[in-house]
Structure 1
Amino acid sequence: MKKHVVIFEVRGGSDKGAYGYRSDSKPIIDSLNKRGWSAEIIFYSDEARGEIYRYVVDKAGAYISRVNPGNLADETGYFQMLRELVSQNVEALPHPDAMINYGAKNAIEKLKGTDLVPDDVITYYDFEAFKASFPLMLKTGPRVLKQNRGSTGEGIWKVEIAKKVEDDKGNLTLKTKVKLTEAKDNHIEEKYLGDFIDFCVTYLDGPSGLLLDMPFLPRIKEGEIRVFMLRREPVYVVHKKPVETADAFSATLFSGAKYTYENPDQYPTLISKVKTNLNTILEKLGGYDIPLIWTLDFILDNDENGEDKYILGEINASCVGFSTHLDLSEQIADEVIRLMEADCVINPRWPAYTS
Structure 2
Amino acid sequence: MHKAIVVFEVEGGSDKYFNGHRKDTMPIVNSILDAGWHAEVVYFRPEWSEDIFTYVSENFDAYISRVNPGNIPSGEKVYFELLTRLSEAGLVGMSTPEEMMAYGAKDALVKLNETALVPSDTAAYYDVETFHATFPISLSYGERVLKQNRGSTGSGIWRVQIEDKELAASIVPGTPLPLDTELKCTEAVDNHTEIRQLGEFMNFCDRYIIGDNGMLVDMRFMPRIVEGEIRILLVGPDPVFVVHKKPAEGGDNFSATLFSGATYSYDSPEAWPELVEMFAAARPVIAEKLGGDDIPLVWTADFMLADAADGHDTYVLGEINCSCVGFTSELDMGIQEKIAAIAISRVEEKERALAHVDRGGHDGQELPLSH
In the superposition, the TM-score normalised over structure 1's length comes to 0.96
Equivalent residues of 2:231, 2:302 under 8 A apart: yes
1:73 is displaced (CA, Å) by 2.3
> Cα distance 1:248–1:352, how it changes in 2: closer, same or farther (>3 A)?
farther
Equivalent residues of 1:345, 1:352 under 8 A apart: no
Runs (4+) off by over 6 Å:
349-354
1:181 to 164, 182, 186: 186
Equivalent residues of 1:347, 1:353 under 8 A apart: no
The 5 Å alignment of 1:306-325 reads 306-325=311-330
Alignment of 1:217 onto 2:222 = yes
1:349 is displaced (CA, Å) by 9.2
Equivalent residues of 2:140, 2:175 under 8 A apart: no
1:247 is displaced (CA, Å) by 1.1
SS of equivalent to 2:306: strand
2:366 is matched with: none
1:149 is matched with: 150
1:100 is matched with: 101
Distance 1:352 1:29 in 2: 33
% identical equivalent positions: 48
1:171 is displaced (CA, Å) by 3.5
Alignment of 1:82 onto 2:83 = yes
Equivalent residues of 1:236, 1:262 under 8 A apart: yes
Alignment of 1:335 onto 2:336 = no
2:268 is matched with: 263
SS of equivalent to 2:184: strand
CA RMSD of aligned residues (A): 1.8
> Cα distance 1:26–1:349, how it changes in 2: closer, same or farther (>3 A)?
farther
Once the two structures are superposed, residues 236-282 of structure 1 have per-residue CA deviations (whole angstroms, 9 ceiling, x without a partner) of 00110000112110000111111111111111110011111112112
> Cα distance 1:95–1:353, how it changes in 2: closer, same or farther (>3 A)?
farther
1:299 to 301, 304, 309: 304
SS of equivalent to 1:33: helix
1:351 is displaced (CA, Å) by 7.4
Equivalent residues of 1:8, 1:67 under 8 A apart: yes
The 5 Å alignment of 1:112-127 reads 112-127=113-128
Letter of the 2:120 partner, please give it.
Answer: D
> Cα distance 1:226–1:135, how it changes in 2: closer, same or farther (>3 A)?
same
Distance 1:216 1:128 in 2: 23
Deviates more, 1:321-330 or 1:133-142: 321-330
Equivalent residues of 1:345, 1:353 under 8 A apart: no
1:278 is matched with: 283
> Cα distance 1:134–1:249, how it changes in 2: closer, same or farther (>3 A)?
same
Distance 2:47 2:151 in 1: 23
1:44 is displaced (CA, Å) by 0.5
Distance 1:350 1:328 in 2: 33
Aligned length: 353
Alignment of 1:109 onto 2:114 = no
1:108 is displaced (CA, Å) by 0.4
Equivalent residues of 2:4, 2:59 under 8 A apart: yes
Equivalent residues of 1:185, 1:250 under 8 A apart: yes
Once the two structures are superposed, residues 93-132 of structure 1 have per-residue CA deviations (whole angstroms, 9 ceiling, x without a partner) of 1121111121111010011211110101000111111111
Deviates more, 1:90-99 or 1:78-87: 90-99
Distance 1:183 1:329 in 2: 29
